[in-house]
Structure formats: C-alpha cells, structure tokens
Amino acid sequence: MPEFQRAPYPTTRMRRIRRHDWARRMVAENALTAADLIWPWFVFDGNGRQRVDSLPGVDRLGADQIARQAVMACELGIPAIAVFPATDSKLKTEDAREATNADNLVCRTVRAIKAEVGDSLGVICDVALDPYSSHGHDGLVVGDYVVNDETVEVLCQQSIVQANAGCDIIAPSDMMDGRIGAIRTALDGAGKSDVQIMSYAAKYASAFYGPFRDAVGSSGNLAGGSKKTYQQSPTQSDEALHEVALDLAEGADSVMVKPGMPYLDIVHRVKSTFAVPTFAYQVSGEYAMICAAAQNGWLNRSQVMIESLMGFKRAGADGVLTYFAADAAKLLKADG
C-alpha cells in the first residue's frame, strides 16, 4: 500500500499569536479604557435614590447623591457624565417652559457637580424638550405637528441656561433642522464660545428607548404618538451621513449615533467618512436586554458588557454613553 501522504502544514499559523494572554494583548488592535466611557445619570427633585425597574442597577439620583456620585466617577477615571432629568409632572407644560428655567433640576445638578469636583469631570447636558413637555415630544407642537424653527428658539434658550450653570458640552438630541448652527450662535453671543456641542446627529426613531422614557417619566406622555417626523427611520444609512455633514458644517465639535449596537454600521460609516470625534449611545433597551438575559443566567453579564463595549470601539467610536460605565470602569481597573 502506498504510504499515507500527510498534507504539508501551513507556514502561516494564525493561532500562534493567540496561544498566550501576553501575546494576545501585545497585538490587540483595539483597547477599551475608562476614558472611553460616558456615564448617563437620571436625577430627580428630592433626596435618596429611586429604582428604575426597567433598568436593573440604575437609580434616579436625588440632590444628596450628586456629590458622592461625581467623586466616584472621577475615582473610576470616567471623563464625563450626561445628565437627564425626571421632571416633576406638575412642571411639564405644552410649551416646556421649565427647560429654560435657570434654576431647573438640570441646572442645579450641574452646579452641584461643579462645586464638588470642578473641571475634573466633564458635564454633558441633553438639549431637547421631551423631559419638560406635557406631550412628550422633543419640540413644540402646533396642531399635531412638531414645529421646527419655533422649537429651535427654545433650544437656544435652554442651551444658554445650561451653559451658564457650568455645563461643558451641550448635546442637542431633538433632531430639529438647523439647531446646531443656531445654538452655536446663541452660545457664542452669550460669551460661551468654549462650550462644546456634541450633536445627536444620527438619532433614529427606535423601539429601544422604552426604559429611558420610564426613567425620565415621559413614557405615558406620547400617548401612542410617534417621533418619526423628526427622528430618522431605521431604514436610512446615507441620510445619516447627510445629517452629520450638516451638523459639522454648522459647528458641531463631535457627533453621536443613537441607538448603538443595532447601528454600528452607521458608527463605522460616520467615523470613516468624516474622521471627527464620534460617539455612540448604548441605549436603555440595549442595556436592559443584556441585564435581563444575565439575570436569567443566559449570559455572563461582565463578559457580555465588555464585549459589547469593545464592539463600539472596533466600529470606530471614540467613546460610548453607557449605563454600564461604572461597572465597566471598575472591572477594567481591577484587570489593570
């Protein structure tokens, strides 16, 4: 019988560099650190903490919790937090006038953070009217339509009061046309030219926002209404690039894609096309799904948390807004 001829072994063996941990770390193409994380906070008018049932492990923070939480963020190496208010329903009106109150919940929170940690921690403020409107929309409503230019006027006022309170980054999430240029002009005119604008440039009308609306108390305000006339359709990809280009031309310092994981292709296209600071929001629904699966024992929470965040970095994101921020930073710190 002819001797068995063994196929020649490959000269290139991809597994060589995977054999040892030190080798895998040495050739790592992407890295995740605490500096990549932005920590979203929900705040309420009161003291203590309020559990958000649909966001396991996430609490609304009362005034007495702000300083302690700010110090924790600094100790963990998290560079910035994003503030979202759970506004008292008594303060919600059709015209969302509380958004422009210089002593509203967000402004008081910003001042408390800055009084405690100063510039050691960046503060990002959301600019949109949905936390303050009785109808739950991001803008003013006339008839059954969210009007654009009238909304932008209010957003400019909202941006100024937040900047005056000490906000470092204004983050318009409303998706009104022209709001970035108008807000930039308003901030500069108010002597706040150093305040950055992080635009929610590609924000989609998504079903992943449900737990967030629970957290800010707006889930019942829409009453079955839709935000599809101003937020992007999930079918759109090229349109996102158009939105980003417009916002950059109007003066945005950085841009954001929201939601995150279902839109990693958009993150990649934005970063590769414009090469500007690009962020993504791992939104409440994404977080809640991972937590629910972990609570049922179907996934390892810590491992999936880190893997999901690495996916954002691999797609090109410079940073991620995530409710996992504190837990991820602790784990990364422990791993050295």
Instruction: Name the token pair of 155.
Output: 């957003």
333 catalytically annotated: no
Q: Which residues are annotated as part of the binding site?
A: 243
What distances in angstroms separate CA 120 from CA 196, 328, 332, one per listed residue? 16, 20, 20
Strand runs labelled E in the chain: 37-44, 49-51, 59-61, 80-86, 122-127, 141-142, 145-146, 169-172, 196-203, 254-258, 278-282, 319-322
Distance of CA 183 to the CA centre of its chain: 19
Q: Which of 92, 114, 227, 258 is catalytic?
A: 258
Which contacts (CB < 8 Å, 24+ apart) does range 103-108 have? 104/132, 104/161, 105/43, 105/44, 105/45, 106/43, 106/162, 106/165, 107/161, 107/162, 107/164, 107/165, 108/63, 108/165
The catalytic residue among 203, 227, 271, 313 is 203
Q: End-to-end distance of the chain based on CA atoms, in angstroms?
A: 59
258 is catalytic: yes
- Give the pair of three-digit tokens for residue 138: 């991001």
Say if residue 142 is exposed, middle or buried (CB neighbours under 10 Å; 0-12, 13-18, 19+): exposed
| Among candidate residues 131, 130, 230, the one with its CA nearest the CA of residue 178 | 230
Q: Could you write out the DSSP letters of every residue in 66-94?
A: HHHHHHHHHHHT--EEEEEEE--GGG-BT
Annotated binding-site ranges for Mg(2+): 243
- Which residues are identified as catalytic? 203, 258
